[in-house]
Amino acid sequence: MKKQPVMERRREIMKKSLGIDYKQFESGSIAFDYEAMMAQAGYPLDEVRQIQQRAGVGNTPLIELKNLSTLSRSLSPKGKGARIFIKDEASNPSGSFKARRASVSIHHAAKMGFQCVAAATSGNYGAAVASQAAMKGLDCIIVQECYDSQGKGQPEIIEKARKCEAFGAEVIQLSVGPELFAVFLEILEETGAFNASLYTPFGIAGVETLGWEIAQQCQRTLGRFPDAVVATNAGGGNLTGTARGLRAAGATQTQIIGASVNLTGLHMASDQHFNRKSFTTGHTGFGMPFATWPDRSDVPRSAGRPLRYMDRYLTVAQGEVFWATEALARLEGLERGPAGNTSLAAALGMAREMDEDAILVVQETEYTGAGKHVAPQLSFARENGIQIRIGNPREEVPGESIILPSSMSQILPQDADLAAMSRSLIRRAVAGKERASITSEDRQFLAAETRQDEAFVTKVLEEVL
């Protein structure tokens, strides 16, 4: 089948495989009614909680990291060093918070009468979809970007493929490149499968319970809402759903912090760069472009809109995440996978800036397995010519080196420029348009998208149009 005709039919294919007519939410030349889409196409929070309870998803523990908090405090100025907690999502059926997203999507697929579900993902979400599909007796197809052109696969992705297959899914593995979306569209069209995309309202509604639980658990056990919640950011759905859940629980003053591994200089669709990174998700190769243009996803309108909710965006080095992974295991007795430890690394740096009675929550953990451990990841990096040493992580060059800090004091997350990212989103939104076509409704939409005021939007529009 030729790829171009399939790409031209993508809206038609998506509508059939999801049952959502995105055009009904669109207006003006840019705007669409995001809240109407979430309310009409998603599920209310109470119903999501019931769906997840029946699927054995959620109600995961909130654990205080007392030893890491103490270490952080010993390195902080007097009166500083927040209490660090983690929401242990590894206890979900598939081993990560992605079970929350999958539970609602698979419930909806079964409700609509689909016999098969499909998802394009290299990560934990594939295992979550496969797990939930197994519970419902549905067939499952997972499409992965797994190999470079030499047939060399990433250990973490291969590990996740095995997990998907253990749940009974058919896994289709591709080499890195732009064909993933076209192949996925072909599969949806040929099989009539439900598109269990990460970026639908169903998926984001599934994560809202995570934010709601964090707020409720902190209120119940600590007497107040958390001061800040750190969420690993890739496509934006994790942060978006968590923030919406916190707001729904009343935690409107809690700071929402995004965290990504800094992979600046590596192109995510590059065959040469594919195996020169040690993190397959939660990095800037997804986090930055998806934040500045969410609708690059596999649905017409992504329900993950991170800039709408993000108070701060921190980047950390690969070596800092590996250090956090080891520290969590050795000081807290919790062996967890790398994606959640991205936000933990950011939290270890943040905690030293915050008051010692502040509550800082690391929003999720994930399971670990043979291909996700620190040792195979570093061995794979060495095999691909990456230099590994102990030193200052700020000197790390993605694709060339991984520098492990010698102590927590060297973990220093870097702030991304949210204003610059907001300007980038606006520029992308209006590219190729005339200034006269930008309506007042469009300006309001862009202000909401970027958490900026309309004066900021107008100034950027004057610069680019």
**Helix (DSSP H) and strand (DSSP E) numbers for the chain:** 18, 13
Question: Does 234 share its domain with 258?
Answer: yes
Instruction: Answer whether residue 331 is part of any domain.
Output: yes
The encoded tokens of residue 78 equal 């007097």
Q: Which amino acid is at 58?
A: G
Q: Is the pLDDT of residue 3 over 80?
A: no
The encoded tokens of residue 369 equal 């397995």
CATH code of the domain covering residue 209: 3.40.50.1100
Question: Does 317 share its domain with 404?
Answer: yes
Instruction: Answer whether residue 214 is part of any domain.
Output: yes
Question: Does 381 share its domain with 344?
Answer: yes
Q: Which amino acid is at 193?
A: A
Residue where one domain finishes, among candidates 415, 439, 454 = 415
Question: Does 229 share its domain with 369?
Answer: yes
The encoded tokens of residue 241 equal 């759903």
Instruction: Answer whether residue 449 is part of any domain.
Output: yes
The encoded tokens of residue 84 equal 């660090």
pLDDT in tens, 362-411: 999 999 988 899 999 999 999 999 999 999 999 999 999 999 999 999 99
Question: Does 307 share its domain with 426?
Answer: no
Instruction: Answer whether residue 90 is part of any domain.
Output: yes
The full length of the chain comes to 465
Question: Does 424 share its domain with 277?
Answer: no
Question: Does 403 share its domain with 432?
Answer: no
Instruction: Answer whether residue 111 is part of any domain.
Output: no
Q: Which domain holds residue 90?
A: 52-94+202-415
More confident residue, 9 or 2: 9
Question: Does 327 share its domain with 349?
Answer: yes
Question: Does 389 share its domain with 458?
Answer: no
Handedness of CA 279, 283, 284, 290 (dihedral sign): positive
The total number of structural domains in the chain stands at 2
**Which SS3 state, helix, strand or coil, does residue 360 take?**
strand
User: Which DSSP string corresponds to 271-289?
Assistant: TTTGGG-S-SSSBHHHHHH
Residues 6+ apart with CB under 8 A from 202: 41, 42, 43, 101, 104, 105, 108
Q: In what order do the strands lie in the sheet with 139-147?
A: 170-175, 139-147, 116-120, 194-195
Report d(CA 173, CA 247) in Å as an integer.
38
Q: From the CB of residue 420, how many other CB atoms can be counted at a distance below 10 Å? A: 9
Question: Does 316 share its domain with 373?
Answer: yes
pLDDT in tens, 194-207: 999 999 999 999 99
Question: Does 249 share its domain with 297?
Answer: yes
User: Which DSSP string corresponds to 124-162?
Assistant: HHHHHHHHHHHHHT-EEEEEEEEE-TTSPBPHHHHHHHH
Instruction: Answer whether residue 447 is part of any domain.
Output: yes
Task: Tell me what pLDDT residue 194 has.
Answer: 98
Q: Is the pLDDT of residue 1 over 70?
A: no
Instruction: Answer whether residue 311 is part of any domain.
Output: yes
Q: Could you tell me the pTM of the whole model? A: 0.96
Question: Does 364 share its domain with 432?
Answer: no
Q: How far is CA 135 from its chain centroid?
A: 24
pLDDT in tens, 433-452: 998 899 999 999 999 999 99
